[in-house]
Structure 1
């Protein structure tokens, strides 16, 4: 059935996830329990979670850790590989098509307009659902454990979390040390890919030009194109500017390194 929302956290490790769940506000816990147990009474130990009963919370933690060790731990390396593949493909789509088109590809019929993400409600409804990002950020969570429509967690003062089914037929990453580099160079161009790779630390336009063997004007033009694609940022200090890779660029290059 429906899982209570307070269990849906964004921890990077099992320990962090357990701690975030335990730190949930009492009102949030109560709302989640009431959401699940609308037609039948909650078992006493679950009801005791809302009251902050230490024994009930220990029981929940033991259950979560046992479930992880039994179901996920044996296959977690494969799941992580599939996650990296899914994120790399999304990053390539953002670099080639832009963020709006990449998000629309994840949810057909949706569109991104002025930091508002809209998409049709289930079949038969005429209205659109709206998520107003408002600078909070958007966390994408491809999952291989959910096969229905996308799941959205839109809580105040937190990034919007968007979980969606990863492809059933997700192909493996290209084999070979240089295969993904070939894919990236087809999209970005070899010079722009070399420029991104040279940004292992912040560099000026002149420094980039020297590093990849092009003129300063050429380096500046390529940096502008990569900045427009969300792959680097530029800051000015006095008369010089410094360029740095964004998290999206790091994801692309990390995918190439993993292949």
Structure 2
């Protein structure tokens, strides 16, 4: 079974990458509803409170049906997504036709959940999902978001080096490009659809691992795929076994900065983590960047710093990598 998404006249130019908090939050709910399929993230279940301050049965009911998924939980992403709670609150503005379709299906499949109308349904979804995000995901969101940013940076660099077609083929093993279309091999239906007027969004997800999911908002298609490095939500990458040697090579502060960059970080975050001023961190990052150890990229209004492959080797690879450093 496979889903073929025809890209139309724009071709690969209609394919874009971004992150999305609603898609990520829903993926985390799938960890709870389908734990055997998301073994990497079973630790999330241990975060569940004994008496949650939100309607967890309702949220799990919306995300546990293998044959149906509510369209309100599959919104079109944005180029520069705002804060997660702003994205979730925007679900209240979902088109009435989408809400009515959801309600019709919900009344048939889960009649225990009854609503007076579309507005009440949308408000209930947004309210409960916001409370769930605050309780379950906000404490770890920095790492969840970091995984997505790291994945987006990797595929953006791949696009620059090898082109969109090659980058798409490396996004996920079940996703491929050919003959003017994207094919999602792991899909419950066999169908061909148009990408829509806004094209195709590729959205990395830490909690989606190891799967891929497709949504079809009215404006286009969304492909949510397992992000690279998803395990970093729970476990940082291994750090060098001999930190004193790394400090001797780079200096103590620069070594601490490099080891803190297991995920992309801002200067402000690094300053808090290392315990020095943002100006000092900026000076160290300039030296590390000039040495090819870190790179920077703009993400909205902030600048993020990440390790290069050489930087990762230095932070994780041990003395052999340090001896090869410039």
TM-score (norm 1): 0.56
Question: 4+ runs of 1 displaced by more than 6 Å?
Answer: none
Query: Larger RCO: Structure 1 or Structure 2 (Cα < 8 Å, ≥ 6 residues apart)?
Result: 2
What is the CA distance between 1:143 and its match in structure 2? Answer: 1.2
Residues 188-208 of structure 1: CA deviation (Å, up to 9, x unaligned): xxxxxxxxx9xxxxxxxxxxx
Q: CA contact under 8 A between 1:86 and 1:142: conserved in structure 2?
A: yes
Equivalent position of 2:198 in the other structure: 136
Residues 77-128 of structure 1: CA deviation (Å, up to 9, x unaligned): 22222221111111122222221121111232543246521232459x8x5x
1:110–1:164: structure 2 CA closer, same or farther, 3 Å change rule?
Answer: closer
Equivalent position of 1:227 in the other structure: none
* Higher Rg of the two aligned structures: 1
1:33–1:63: structure 2 CA closer, same or farther, 3 Å change rule?
Answer: same
Equivalent position of 2:86 in the other structure: 16
3-state DSSP class of the match of 1:139? strand
Q: CA contact under 8 A between 1:115 and 1:134: conserved in structure 2?
A: no
1:121–1:85: structure 2 CA closer, same or farther, 3 Å change rule?
Answer: closer
Q: CA contact under 8 A between 2:200 and 2:220: conserved in structure 1?
A: yes
Equivalent of 1:257 in 305, 309, 312: 305
TM-score (norm 2): 0.46
Q: Which runs of 5+ in 1 are unaligned?
A: 186-196, 198-248
Where do 1:83-102 residues align within 5 Å?
Answer: 83-102=148-167
Q: Does 1:74 align with 2:148?
A: no
Cα distance in 2 between the residues matched to 1:66 and 1:38: 26
Q: CA contact under 8 A between 2:91 and 2:122: conserved in structure 1?
A: no
What is the CA distance between 1:137 and its match in structure 2? Answer: 3.4
Q: CA contact under 8 A between 1:109 and 1:119: conserved in structure 2?
A: yes
Equivalent position of 1:182 in the other structure: 292
Q: CA contact under 8 A between 1:100 and 1:112: conserved in structure 2?
A: yes
State the superposition RMSD in angstroms.
3.7
What is the CA distance between 1:26 and its match in structure 2? Answer: 2.2
1:112–1:183: structure 2 CA closer, same or farther, 3 Å change rule?
Answer: farther
Q: Which runs of 5+ in 2 are unaligned?
A: 1-63, 238-261, 266-283, 308-326
Equivalent of 1:5 in 49, 55, 71: 71
Q: Does 1:106 align with 2:171?
A: yes
Q: CA contact under 8 A between 1:131 and 1:154: conserved in structure 2?
A: no
Equivalent position of 1:119 in the other structure: 184
Residues 16-57 of structure 1: CA deviation (Å, up to 9, x unaligned): 32443112222211222344554441412xx3242x34xx55
3-state DSSP class of the match of 1:140? strand
Cα distance in 2 between the residues matched to 1:38 and 1:71: 30
